Amino acid sequence: MATVRALAIPAAGATVEPATVERRDPRPDDVVIDIRYAGICHSDIHQANEDWGPAIFPMVPGHEITGVVAAVGEAVTRFAVGDRVGVGCFVDSCGTCEACVAGLEQYCAAHPVATYNGRDHDGAPTYGGYSERIVVRESFVLRIPDALALDAAAPLLCAGITSYSPLRHWKIGPGSRVAIVGLGGLGHMGVQLAHALGADVTVLSQTLSKEKDGLRLGADRYRATSDEATFDELRGGLDFILNTVSASLDLDAYLSLLRLDGTMCNVGGPGDPQRHLAYSLIQTRRNLAGSNVGGIRETQEMLDFCAEHGITAEIELIGAADVNTAYERVLASDVRYRFVIDIATLA
């Protein structure tokens, strides 16, 4: 066991404070990673506040991790000391169920082992990326392409893959009319990725305050959802809506924007039950769906796609002392477009 510095939340709703956690000695198939950067995902805040139900405390959040390999177990073949690597939302899965065999570990029938606020197969709580070091099985470690800076690449491990996976699953490409709802961490990745895949992209944001950024990131148009005219203009015209909003929306209003057989995919995870009228789907055979991050193979594909297309996250790099303020700013939709913690400031 090794004791490492971390940032932890001691109890539900409490603020982040310095702490230490124990990391296991590497097993034969483990990679020991010196963490350099950890992104702040809105999911960190949902879980710290128990928006999704009871959580495990103390909690060390962080599932957008990049760093450098510090040591490898003797059976590790794909990584060596000094390699630039990443870890996303889960660090293990059963490996044998239908989903795992298909490379969709995020849908593991036995539930994947979450990077934090989860329990490893031996029952030990997992601790995430707001820490100096993590020990992860080789098959759950990603390679960060040389073209991507380690700090700006961190958010790709969750915000990037959570946007990429549904865009690929619903075969978004040239000719697709896509709307991205919410220009936060996930949304700003969704805009870049949908644009790179060749789609016509509309951003639906609460106001026009980030319009310039949205257009620069690749949107073809930017509309405010506070303006009724937006819904009149776009009604029945979209093939696909990626909803990245962390709060409940008027689903009927958004579903009305879909054409025949169109799909609205929710990736945003508000804690409240979501409601919609049956006829919002029935009327033109619309689909309401959800999507959970992405599998390991697809995450590597996304990282390579981002490197090839010059896509990365736009980040505000912060020190360990600024995390609580960053949480407040995320909750106020005041993020452009991802806070990333410089782990060197934990020292």
List interacting residues with Zn ion (CB under 5 A).
41, 43, 158
Secondary structure of the chain: what % helix, strand, coil (to 5)?
Answer: 30, 30, 45
Q: Which among Zn ion, ligand NAP, none contacts residue 184 (Cβ within 5 to 8 A by kind)? A: ligand NAP
Distance in Å, CB of 267 to ligand NAP, minimum: 4
**Which amino acid, 227?**
D
Distance in Å, CB of 292 to ligand NAP, minimum: 4
Distance in Å, CB of 48 to ligand NAP, minimum: 11
Toward Zn ion, which CB reaches closer, 156 or 238? 156
Q: Which among ligand NAP, Zn ion, none contacts residue 247 (Cβ within 5 to 8 A by kind)? A: ligand NAP
Toward Zn ion, which CB reaches closer, 41 or 346? 41
Query: What is the number of other CB atoms lying within 10 angstroms of the CB of residue 321?
Result: 12
Q: Containing H/E element for 241? A: strand 238-243
DSSP label of 15: P
Distance in Å, CB of 323 to ligand NAP, minimum: 14
Task: Write b or e for each residue in 166-199: b if 16 or more Cβ atoms lie within 10 A of its Cβ, otherwise e.
Answer: bbbebebeeebbbbbbbbbbbbbbbbbbbbbbeb
Distance in Å, CB of 135 to Zn ion, minimum: 21
Toward Zn ion, which CB reaches closer, 154 or 258? 154
Toward Zn ion, which CB reaches closer, 39 or 262? 39
Q: Which among ligand NAP, Zn ion, none contacts residue 60 (Cβ within 5 to 8 A by kind)? A: none
Give the Cα separation of 238 and 309 in Å (integer). 25
Give the Cα separation of 52 and 65 in Å (integer). 22
- Is the CB of residue 213 less than 8 Å from the CB of residue 183? yes
Distance in Å, CB of 143 to Zn ion, minimum: 20
CA distances from 116 to 8, 55, 299 (A): 11, 10, 18
Strand partners, 19: 6
* Contact set with ligand NAP (CB under 6 A): 41-43, 46, 158-159, 162, 182-187, 205-206, 210, 244-247, 267-269, 291-293, 330, 333, 335
Toward Zn ion, which CB reaches closer, 40 or 179? 40
Task: Pull the structure tokens for residue 71.
Answer: 């040591």
Toward ligand NAP, which CB reaches closer, 206 or 284? 206
Q: Which among ligand NAP, Zn ion, none contacts residue 180 (Cβ within 5 to 8 A by kind)? A: none
